Amino acid sequence: MDDIRFVLWAFMIGVSVAALYVFFVRKKLGGFVRKLLQNNAFTPESALSMEELGEKPSFFLRRSLRNGSDFSRTVLCENDRYYIPEECVQKAESKYKANTGGVVILLVAIALFAIVTLVCVYVFPALAQSIVGLFSSES
């Protein structure tokens, strides 16, 4: 029974971390993409620097822009200036769209998932034992 509890808690933590990651990607990287799209940075000639976009070169943004990452295949860099090629605009719009729902919704979703996990870990086993006890022949 302890193995099942461990798996449920590990699953809950994994889903929560994934939700945080998706939220952060859509918020931080999505904001960067939306600024490039709003400024029509679609060619090397129209590319903009981070300063022109009002972005600070954070660790996460720099790491996401490193060669070989999925983000660096969508947002190209030339001479420290960034742009989204015309053929990647559709992908950028759909993948980095802004409908994250906000921090409150993220926290509520994680809290609800934690409650469901608690119910699965503590209530269902007790309920199952009670039901088995009703039908057992032991006195």
> In 3D, which of 74, 97, 91, 89 has the Cα closest to residue 26?
97
* Mean pLDDT over the full length of the chain: 84
- The amino acid present at 118, given as its one-letter code, is L
Contacting residues for 82 by C-beta, under 8 A, at least 6 apart: 32, 36, 41, 47, 48, 49, 50, 53, 65, 75, 76
pLDDT at 38: 92
Mapping DSSP to helix (H, G, I), strand (E, B) and coil, where does residue 44 land? coil
pLDDT at 84: 95
CB 121 within 8 A of CB 9: yes
pTM here is 0.67
Mean pLDDT along residues 76-82? 91
CB 77 within 8 A of CB 65: yes
Mean pLDDT along residues 15-35? 86
| Count: domains in the chain | 1
> In 3D, which of 139, 1, 29, 22 has the Cα closest to residue 93?
29
Domain residue limits at 111 = 2-135
Inter-CA distances, 36 with 18, 57, 76, 93, 100, Å: 26, 15, 11, 11, 19
**Which tokens in the block code for residue 4?**
């099942």
Inter-CA distances, 90 with 17, 48, 67, 93, Å: 27, 19, 21, 5
Most confident of 58-62, 63-67, 83-87, 130-134: 83-87
